[in-house]
Structure 1
Amino acid sequence: MWVILAVSIQVLSGPNVWPVLNHGTFVSETECQAVLDEAVPRTLSEQMRIAWEQGELKFVCIKAREPGSAGN
């Protein structure tokens, strides 16, 4: 399962990462990336679009672990 994550790092407060749930989950990285490419920047609020354009906010597709799987 693949999901879209939004990533932002502030100097004083550190990383801020959250899943973009309104687009759901995806079977493959290719499917996830296709939705991401279509949605950004079209669906962003004005403030988030500006942060994205200035490189302060990134969106990435990442493979999610199945519940109960062992982590490293």
Structure 2
Amino acid sequence: MWVILAVSIQMLSGPNVWPVLDEGTFVSEAECQAVLDEAVPRTLSEQMRIAWEQGELKYVCIRVREPASPAN
């Protein structure tokens, strides 16, 4: 399963990372990237679009790990 994450790093407060839940989850990286390419920057607010254009905000597709099985 793949999801889109938004990532920004602030000098004083450190990294901010959050899932982009509006777009859902994806079976493959290619599917995730296709949705990401179509949605950004179209769906961004003016402030978020400016941060994205200036490289202060990135959107990435990342694979979600399956939970580890508990040891018996």
Residues 1:69 and 2:68 are matched in the alignment: yes
* One-letter identity of the residue aligned with 1:20: V
Structure 1 unaligned regions, length at least 5: none
Residue aligned with 2:51, SS: helix
Structure 2 unaligned regions, length at least 5: none
Q: 4+ residue stretches of structure 1 with deviation over 3 A? A: none
* One-letter identity of the residue aligned with 1:69: A
Residue in structure 1 matched with residue 51 of structure 2 by the alignment: 51
Distance 2:13 2:44 in 1: 23
Identity of aligned residues (%): 86
Residues 1:6 and 2:9 are matched in the alignment: no
| TM-score, normalization by structure 1 | 0.92
Cα RMSD of the aligned pairs, angstroms, is 1.0
| TM-score, normalization by structure 2 | 0.92
Q: Output one character per residue of 1:14-48: Cα deviation in whole Å (capped at 9) or x when no partner.
A: 00000000000000000000000000000000000
Number of aligned residues: 69
Residue aligned with 1:8, SS: strand
